[in-house]
Amino acid sequence: MKSSSDSPGNSPQFQPSRCSPFPSLGVHLAGWLSPLASWRRASVAGHSVAIVVVVVVVVVVIVVVVVVVVVVLVVVVVVVVVIVAVVVIVVVVVAK
């Protein structure tokens, strides 16, 4: 890639001043993109926090449902035991 200003004796080497009219543009772009990169890291961290919150909420809901089911089963068992006890007492009293 030679321009009209190249002399025949020049070797084709990478020369940033010839390749880019703004040699410090890359530095400026890196400066502009670094906040975007940190925002992306924060966004990824935010997503991981959101995932943790969702998992915690799901676990809490499951625990609450299990506790409610266990309490209902205990109440049903107690009611059945009381009914059976009353029936047994009535049968014993009537049989005497």
Rounded-to-integer distance, Cα 3 and Cα 7, Å:
9
- Please report which confidence band the pLDDT of residue 11 belongs to, taking 50, 70 and 90 as the band edges: low
Domain that holds residue 68: 20-95
- Please report which confidence band the pLDDT of residue 87 belongs to, taking 50, 70 and 90 as the band edges: very high
Assess if residue 3 is contained within a domain: no
- Please report which confidence band the pLDDT of residue 43 belongs to, taking 50, 70 and 90 as the band edges: low
Rounded-to-integer distance, Cα 34 and Cα 42, Å:
12
Assess if residue 38 is contained within a domain: yes
Q: How many domains does the chain have?
A: 1
Rounded-to-integer distance, Cα 93 and Cα 34, Å:
88
- Please report which confidence band the pLDDT of residue 58 belongs to, taking 50, 70 and 90 as the band edges: very high
Rounded-to-integer distance, Cα 39 and Cα 45, Å:
10
- CA proximity to 46, closest of 31, 60, 54, 34: 54
Assess if residue 24 is contained within a domain: yes
Reported pTM: 0.45
